[in-house]
């Protein structure tokens, strides 16, 4: 486990989506976050106290979390300098970037001298198996998306909380850096060698014999040319009984690819169901999760209603309005008895 409390790093970021790891920790582990570190040219905030490393250390912070994402997941010179400052102040450093902290000699030497640790969150477990596709028992739900960074993790965590409130056993299975930092465990799927992606998910979500659910955080999109391979392996390894399609209606195009348009929701859902059927022939769609953060409430509720009617599925913003409509459908479709569990139960 990475020692808390945390100082969340925003640095010089000017991209809201690019700080999703810091934002996720601020939202889902608020008691472990003492402040945010942002430079004067950063227009973004998490609403936490603004601190430098000395102030954060005095406030009890034990780890600087480099909770940002950039193209290629690189450690730039500014990031390295700031991480060195944190180490000099006696703080551990955690990062989910593809460029490992341990591969930066200056950081390794400084951490050894200061007696602190470097945590590379995007390190997959050793000796992952190749997927085999053998049917395994248990209820599994996977969130899938029209694009990257559309709210799959938020939707999965909202479903987890909604099921737990009803007394239904549910486990969140993290597959990305932010989810792993929130849950304390998981597999960083985009850092797994392609041959082992489906096997990694089979290992992360083994057979279960109860009536509970494994809720698997989705990654990428089948329609994103850069990351569809990760999404495909995840669909096969998850063997999901249920899929939830996640979408950000404010997106003008695929993230990072202005020459690629977003897919039609019905086409996207059909494609995900088709790919999932290789290892889960009876998979069903149980809902649509919209990320409506950029819409006013009336417009957001109207869009959820219209989208649900068009696709014949419950549709909600699970983080903003709750996940109960989707949970109702899940439990109706896969109830262990003929009596479904309702939100009021």
Check pLDDT > 60 for residue 339: no
Q: Can you give the pLDDT at residue 1?
A: 83
Percentage, residues of the chain above pLDDT 70: 97
The mean per-residue pLDDT over the stretch 152-169 comes to 97
- Residue 230 near residue 148 (C-beta atoms within 8 A): no
What's the half-sphere exposure (Cβ side, CA atoms, 13 Å) at 181? 35
Q: Can you give the pLDDT at residue 71?
A: 66
Q: Can you give the pLDDT at residue 69?
A: 80
Domains of the chain with CATH codes: 6-120 (3.40.50.720), 139-334 (3.40.50.300)
Check pLDDT > 50 for residue 17: yes
| pLDDT band with cut points at 50, 70 and 90 for residue 154 | very high
The mean per-residue pLDDT over the stretch 303-312 comes to 98
What are 324's two structure tokens? 């109960």
Q: Can you give the pLDDT at residue 15?
A: 87
Check pLDDT > 50 for residue 344: no
Q: Can you give the pLDDT at residue 148?
A: 93
Sequential DSSP letters for 43-63: ----SSPB--HHHHHHTT--E
| pLDDT band with cut points at 50, 70 and 90 for residue 31 | very high
| pLDDT band with cut points at 50, 70 and 90 for residue 241 | very high
Residue 42: exposure state from Cβ atoms within 10 A (0-12, 13-18, ≥19): middle
The mean per-residue pLDDT over the stretch 244-265 comes to 96
The mean per-residue pLDDT over the stretch 298-306 comes to 98
Q: Can you give the pLDDT at residue 335?
A: 78
Check pLDDT > 70 for residue 345: no
Q: Can you give the pLDDT at residue 72?
A: 67
What's the half-sphere exposure (Cβ side, CA atoms, 13 Å) at 337? 3
Q: Can you give the pLDDT at residue 74?
A: 80
pLDDT digits (tens, 9 = 90+) for 101-123: 999 999 999 999 999 999 999 88
Q: Can you give the pLDDT at residue 340?
A: 38
Mean per-residue pLDDT of the chain: 94
The mean per-residue pLDDT over the stretch 133-140 comes to 96
Query: Token match 């669909």: residue?
Result: 235
- Residue 328 near residue 314 (C-beta atoms within 8 A): yes
| pLDDT band with cut points at 50, 70 and 90 for residue 287 | very high
Check pLDDT > 70 for residue 272: yes
Q: Which of 245, 228, 246 is nearest to 293 (CA)?
A: 246
The mean per-residue pLDDT over the stretch 218-239 comes to 97
pLDDT digits (tens, 9 = 90+) for 33-86: 999 999 999 999 999 999 999 999 999 999 999 999 876 678 888 899 999 999
End-to-end CA distance of the chain: 36
What are 242's two structure tokens? 């249920």
Q: Can you give the pLDDT at residue 338?
A: 37
Q: Can you give the pLDDT at residue 341?
A: 39
Q: What is the pTM of this model?
A: 0.91
């Amino acid at each position: 486990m990475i020692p808390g409390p945390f100082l969340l790093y925003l640095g010089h970021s000017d991209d809201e989506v690019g700080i999703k790891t810091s934002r996720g920790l601020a939202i889902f582990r608020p008691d472990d976050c003492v402040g945010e570190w942002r430079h004067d040219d950063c227009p973004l905030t998490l609403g936490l106290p603004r601190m430098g490393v000395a102030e954060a250390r005095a406030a009890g912070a034990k780890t600087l979390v480099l909770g940002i994402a950039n193209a290629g997941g690189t450690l730039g010179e500014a990031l390295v300098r700031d991480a060195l400052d944190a180490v000099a102040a006696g703080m551990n450093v955690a990062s989910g970037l593809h460029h490992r902290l341990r591969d930066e000699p200056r950081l390794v030497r400084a951490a050894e001298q200061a007696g602190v640790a470097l945590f590379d969150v995007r390190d997959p477990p050793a000796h992952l198996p190749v997927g085999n596709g053998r049917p395994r028992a248990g209820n599994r739900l996977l969130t899938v998306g029209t694009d990257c960074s559309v709210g799959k993790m938020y939707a999965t965590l909202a479903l987890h909380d909604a099921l737990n409130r009803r007394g239904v056993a549910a486990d969140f299975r993290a597959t990305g850096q932010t989810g792993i930092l929130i849950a304390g465990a998981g597999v960083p799927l985009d850092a797994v060698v392609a041959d082992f992606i489906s096997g990694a998910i089979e290992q992360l979500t083994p057979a279960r014999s109860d009536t509970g659910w494994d809720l698997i955080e989705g990654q990428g999109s089948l329609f994103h040319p850069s990351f569809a391979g990760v999404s495909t392996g995840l669909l096969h390894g998850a063997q999901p009984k249920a899929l939830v399609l996640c979408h950000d209606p404010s997106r003008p195009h695929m993230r990072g690819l202005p020459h690629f348009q977003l897919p039609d929701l019905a086409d996207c859902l059909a494609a995900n169901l088709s790919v999932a059927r290789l290892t889960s022939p009876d998979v069903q769609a149980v809902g649509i999760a919209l990320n409506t953060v950029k819409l006013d409430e009336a417009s957001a509720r109207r869009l959820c209603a219209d989208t649900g009617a068009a696709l014949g599925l419950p549709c909600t913003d699970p983080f903003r309005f709750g996940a109960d409509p989707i949970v109702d459908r899940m439990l109706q479709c896969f109830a262990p008895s003929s009596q479904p569990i309702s939100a009021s139960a």
